[in-house]
Amino acid sequence: TTLHANDTATAITRLNEMGIPPYLVGSSVVGVMAQRLIRRVCPKCSSTRVVDPEKDKLACNHNISTLKQANSIDLANNNTDNLCPICNGTGYKGRLGLYEVMKVNDNIRELIMKSSTADVIRESASENGVKSLLDYGLDLVKQGLTTIEEVERVCLLDD
């Protein structure tokens, strides 16, 4: 089924908010997947830049040294002479999926039965190797497939 939730852990707690008792959730859910679409940077007109430690703290914290940069053109001045033939000056062409998949194991099931918060479930899932949407997005940034700005736009970041 489909739920409106920010990640896999909040999908579990969302079921509780909808009035489903924890024992039913724990006994029937075997896995949860969260997904988001993110724009793919244009392969023709994008550029690469070095990470600025002051400006790109997220990239620095995840050991990313270079970033792709989308070259979008402001069409307000009606100058369409130098538009990229691939992306039409948007800087992006196509989409990529970000995925977070959490298997409901015995540990997660126990947390569900205790009506634990999404933060507690998320931490336990992370300890069991679940890659978050943010981590998946940062892997795509490292591969040069999208921009750090796209990941920051799509993923909910802690302040």
Angle at CA of residue 13, ends 8 and 16, nearest 5°: 140
Between CA 48 and CA 45 the distance in angstroms is 10
Q: How many CB atoms lie within 10 A of CB 130?
A: 20
The predicted-structure confidence for 25-56, as pLDDT tens digits, reads as follows 999 999 999 999 999 999 999 999 999 888 88
Higher pLDDT, 101 or 78: 101
The predicted-structure confidence for 133-144, as pLDDT tens digits, reads as follows 999 999 999 999
In the predicted model, what is the mean pLDDT of the chain? 90
The predicted-structure confidence for 99-135, as pLDDT tens digits, reads as follows 999 999 999 999 999 999 999 999 999 999 999 999 9
Q: Is the CA virtual torsion 114, 118, 120, 126 positive or negative? A: positive
* Nearest one of 93, 50, 88, 89 to 68, comparing CA atoms: 50
* Helix H or strand E segment including 95: strand 92-103
Packing angle of the helix pair 106-113, 118-127 (nearest 10 deg): 170
pLDDT score at 61: 87
Alpha helices per DSSP H over the chain: 8-17, 22-28, 57-61, 106-113, 118-127, 133-142, 148-154
Between CA 43 and CA 57 the distance in angstroms is 25
